[in-house]
Structure 1
């Protein structure tokens, strides 16, 4: 059982024995784990052993007072302190809150109100401790653990499979939904393989125009070597292999079998020694039955198959991944990463993540951008994508919308320094000003 699974714990500090016993009984009846001390001076000695989620302390006690205890608590991840006193007044409460107390309650207090305050304080402390543990874990990660981040069984098995296959020349087919990180796994297979210093060449079969496909892949004699030749001595990553045109599939099969490639218009084959890693978000067997994929090519590519699980099957990884992306984007935009609230965590876990890790990364960036403006939440970042009816109808409108978003992002990233914005966008200052006016951008509202 982890600490997060245990009931919340409280340390009660009061010199009145009967009051201590009463408060312990109240908290234990509400499901808390309760410890009690009669002197505030004992707290710092026992804090490391007890590790309470919240401290409830009387204000007026012999020796060290509750206010003095507040100043003695270590900075950083010290548990929140709730002060309670029969002699309290408004100035004392204001001073306590100003000095860092979580709350101030007067005796006699209504039990449900006191328990509510204590619960909120404990929840906040646990959230802070959880976030710090995640940051420490991320800081310790290196190599494959950082590349394929996660602690679920699915992620651990994927890392083990990658390590097993990385040292071989075996062709690997990566299967998984869009955004699951197939490109990261392909890169890991290369980086951990026998030739990490060799080239890693990626070719997305779904984005190449049909009339340029063969020249891009096989090259043109005397003009362009092609992706296959460029991958010699390294790895060729064929993404969305089911989108490869059938005539090209036949030639690719021949290249894999003969380990040589002949450029278009040429007659002399060039030896090719490259590992082939392919990927698809389709069902290869269905692609074969639909006539989109040659069965003999699939048999050459799928010697080993790695299936990447969608994010909805890795629920326990979501907060860890989001925290990782949040801190990465915070570094890029040069701000402190916003803290995750309980509502943020609830929103993260309630979402289905159809775009998988790629969508999670984008939501983290939107959350950081909102934090730069002093607000935002995960729920708002999730709602940031425009509904389908708001997608521009024409290419001109789509280009304008893209330019507006890109310029706005650059203005925020460079805090309104227009010379830096123009340089980052690769345009002149005058052109930038004209576009701002044309697109109706309000610079002040972006900052």
Structure 2
């Protein structure tokens, strides 16, 4: 048996309040009665009702005032009742988010039907939210997208939704915000997770060989579309692609077909395209350097990664996370974060975003290894002696970390290929990764 529905009944008229309470209780509801809306709001978080039934005209806080206060996604639905209702009032209430509006005297059976439907929808919505939260945790997005700011929380939820969608995704954000990390998460969470993920940095392509690298050559080099068939193609810095190649990419997105260089026959592929840019592509369209139809096709779904300066207290949280991780790598106790350190972190403009923050954390840890340092000093991004490891062990650890990270990035996270490139066994590689406190995703943004 499911738990009984719960309701708040708010009315300054005691007889009406008791009458409504008895009606609901006889129908199996658990009811809490309130004379004033303000008192109900004080108990809202603690009792978390499935629905709120409130009179409109009440002293101090009216039903419409209460409606204005109930705008959160997790707030219960509000059903308003009034003996002085008119059509404009009812329309206004519904437009502002009320679940329903009833005029007194109302038919009891109709009231019970309305609030039951409201409660059922609220429970379904709440259950879906809980499942999404669990999925975020299970998927590893909490590790990839660290932080609890509203922007990052919403981003995690959006990523869950877009992972199972079929259309192209455009990820925008400043340098260092983790666009490739998010793209890989979308691939890993979606139905193509067992198929290839191919990343292409469009800015590194030579203009005269771009078509060959993208579409391949007949009876020769295989392009990235063929390599990613069945999986995901990530086009980083997509704004750097030439107008001519954009036109051909648009055709692939619309028809799933392309012609390799030197061929007059179409090749059909099944590829989901995720593109990323740190530029304003709308501006490039206005300048005539980017096709508007190509942008609209890429922008079927859009994720914007907020810069670090818009993530509030996440800056301090992320810094402490990186410091703890790097302190394990260099085998020291994590340096304490002083008030001056926190102030320095929050005052910095972070042009390099999360990537820069991690570098600052590493410089802070290295300075702490020698018994000194501060965040302010670590923010002085130069090649001073503070960046030099104090002991041979520190130097070896840092060298191994850098070398392994470069290999992970070069081989796009394929760990067997990483181990082969480093000339060590897969088991040895795993042991070093654990000892150094490394996360593969740290090197794929």
User: Do they superpose with TM above 0.5?
Assistant: yes
Residue 177 of structure 2 corresponds to residue 177 of structure 1: no
Instruction: Give the structure 1 partner of residue 221 of structure 2.
Output: 224
Aligned partner of 2:339 among 338, 342, 355? 342
Instruction: Give the structure 1 partner of residue 238 of structure 2.
Output: 241
Aligned partner of 1:152 among 146, 149, 154? 149
Structure 2: how far apart are the matches of 1:288 and 1:415?
48
Deviation at 1:410, TM superposition (A): 11
Instruction: Give the structure 2 partner of residue 317 of structure 1.
Output: 314
Q: Indicate if the aligned counterparts of 2:174 and 2:307 stay in contact, CA closer than 8 A.
A: yes
Deviation at 1:297, TM superposition (A): 0.7
Decide whether aligned partners of structure 1 residues 420 and 185 sit closer, same or farther in structure 2, where only a CA change above 3 A counts.
closer
Residue 360 of structure 2 corresponds to residue 363 of structure 1: yes
1:27-66 correspondence runs (5 A):
none
Q: How many residues align?
A: 271
Q: Indicate if the aligned counterparts of 2:366 and 2:390 stay in contact, CA closer than 8 A.
A: no
Decide whether aligned partners of structure 1 residues 256 and 414 sit closer, same or farther in structure 2, where only a CA change above 3 A counts.
same
The Cα offsets for residues 218-275 of structure 1, whole Å up to 9 and x where unpaired, read as: 1222332111211111111111111111111111111112212322223443321111
Instruction: Give the structure 1 partner of residue 277 of structure 2.
Output: 280
Structure 2: how far apart are the matches of 1:410 and 1:263?
54
Deviation at 1:314, TM superposition (A): 0.7
1:36-435 correspondence runs (5 A):
143-385=140-382, 415=395
Q: Indicate if the aligned counterparts of 2:141 and 2:185 stay in contact, CA closer than 8 A.
A: yes
Structure 2: how far apart are the matches of 1:334 and 1:232?
44
Structure 1: how far apart are the matches of 2:217 and 2:389?
40
Structure 2: how far apart are the matches of 1:192 and 1:172?
14
Gaps of 5+ in 2: 1-136, 407-420, 423-445
Structure 2: how far apart are the matches of 1:371 and 1:143?
30
Q: Indicate if the aligned counterparts of 1:168 and 1:194 stay in contact, CA closer than 8 A.
A: no
Structure 1: how far apart are the matches of 2:324 and 2:200?
30
Q: CA RMSD in A?
A: 3.3
Q: Indicate if the aligned counterparts of 1:229 and 1:261 stay in contact, CA closer than 8 A.
A: no
Structure 1: how far apart are the matches of 2:296 and 2:396?
55
1:6-17 correspondence runs (5 A):
none
Decide whether aligned partners of structure 1 residues 420 and 276 sit closer, same or farther in structure 2, where only a CA change above 3 A counts.
closer
Give 3-state SS (helix, strand or coil) of 1:206's partner. Answer: helix
TM-score (norm 2): 0.55
Instruction: Give the structure 2 partner of residue 445 of structure 1.
Output: none
Deviation at 1:411, TM superposition (A): 7.8
Which protein has the larger Cα radius of gyration, Structure 1 or Structure 2?
1
